[in-house]
Structure 1
Amino acid sequence: MPRFPLIPTIIASLAVALMIGLGIWQIERRGEKLAAIQRYAANFGKPEMAFPRLPVGDAYLFRRASAFCLQVVGWQSQGGRATDGSNGYRHLAQCRTGAEGPVLLVDMGVAADPKFQPVWKGGKVTGTITHAPDHRPMLAGLFDSEPRHLMLISETAAPGLQPTAKPDLSSVPNNHLSYAVQWFLFALVASVIYVLALKWRQKPKQAEPNQETSDQ
């Protein structure tokens, strides 16, 4: 009787269980994301607020807010889209808002020329709250409990720039159901492959025919 491979079976079972668990987690995440999108949609109609100085999570995404930039201490540039639909490079001002505290990031508009140097000294800014650029790896972002930093997209562009397009709900992906289906399929495929491998391993090998030799 063929010996049943205990350790490989345990490892394979744990891997399948992990895949199923990840699929269930993605379904739970889908429900959370749907509720979050409803909150974001409600933020569009809420009154203007002061921009939060500390990371507070995503509760205020897409809400109109204002802040005061005491001094621009630096600039960042990355791809973006203007309100007229043209693509270019949006310029993010790093602002000092007080003697202490984190730097405020303000999107001051889009330029077609990547080498454009904005001229803006600061002042009061009114716009829409959105996520600041996040350079963490995707997996690190999924399991990191620290809230993502926020920034302000200014309604009024700096001289020489076009206003950046306001963020909308389409920028909030909700692909968790497709991720869940993928994990469940991975679990099914892995199970089928392992069962077939066991059957192939336990299949008795056919004996090779004896070759008779005769001396002539």
Structure 2
Amino acid sequence: MIRRLPIIPTIIVLAAVATMIALGFWQLRRAHEKEALLARYTQAQGLPPTVWPTVPTPTERLPLFRRASANCLEAVTQKAVAGRSLQGDSGYSHLVDCRTGGAEGPGLRVDIGWSQDPNAGKGWRGGPVSGIIGPDGEKRMRLISSVGYAGLQPSAPPDINDIPNNHLSYAVQWFAFAAVALLIYGFAVRARLKERA
């Protein structure tokens, strides 16, 4: 029967199945990495406050979910992005990029608070800030202030529960795809062999 299998389709199917299995194992590794990351973030929440760190290089770990303090010497730019209040209401978080040292440019991004008005929160010039370090799509991390400035309410701090760890389910899906591909191909070959017989 093995000799009667179509060679090229069999090679293609087996290569596809091998790829799906490899992706499944890759997702399992990612699941373990994500578990370790979430454990590190949970531990960071219990650490004593730190001063705002310099922005890590792309290969360094971010000190996310740790309490920190910083000094915004000068507010350089400000913008509003989608955000939530402490009560979970939708609206805008107001982000300010700050100068933190001599001639350097913006070295600190601060979430100075939340409102339902994207034009609120103007006029904050900077100063000492304390809060929790959260992720930021542009600057990699930002300091979410524990108090609202310039008439704003505090923004919701980052929540570890918002970080999904669905790699295990992805792994199961890839393994299932591989099994289904083998079954379908097996049925197709069997039907073809019956027709020839």
Using the aligned pairs only, state the percent identity.
49
Unaligned runs of at least 5 residues, structure 2: none
CA distance in 1 between partners of 2:159 and 2:25 (Å): 28
CA distance in 1 between partners of 2:32 and 2:105 (Å): 35
CA distance in 2 between partners of 1:205 and 1:6 (Å): 16
2:91 match: 88
Displacement of 1:55 in angstroms is 2.3
CA distance in 2 between partners of 1:196 and 1:102 (Å): 62
TM-score normalised by the chain length of structure 2: 0.85
Displacement of 1:3 in angstroms is 5.2
1:142 match: none
Per-residue deviation, residues 66-109 of structure 1 (Å, max 9, x unmatched): 12222222223222111133221111112222323664221111
1:32 match: 33
TM-score normalised by the chain length of structure 1: 0.79
**Amino acid of the residue matched to residue 204 of structure 1?**
E
200 and 73 in structure 1: CA distance in 2 versus 1, 3 angstrom threshold: farther
Q: Aligned-pair RMSD on alpha carbons?
A: 2.4
**Amino acid of the residue matched to residue 106 of structure 1?**
V
2:108 match: 104
8 Å Cα contact 2:121-2:149 kept in structure 1:
no
**Amino acid of the residue matched to residue 7 of structure 1?**
I
Displacement of 1:44 in angstroms is 1.4
Unaligned runs of at least 5 residues, structure 1: 135-147, 207-216
Query: Which structure shows the bigger proportion of residues in strand conformation?
Result: 2
2:129 match: 125
Displacement of 1:128 in angstroms is 0.4
CA distance in 2 between partners of 1:152 and 1:172 (Å): 18
2:42 match: 41
Is 1:12–2:13 an aligned residue pair?
A: yes
CA distance in 2 between partners of 1:188 and 1:91 (Å): 49
CA distance in 1 between partners of 2:52 and 2:180 (Å): 49
Displacement of 1:117 in angstroms is 5.1
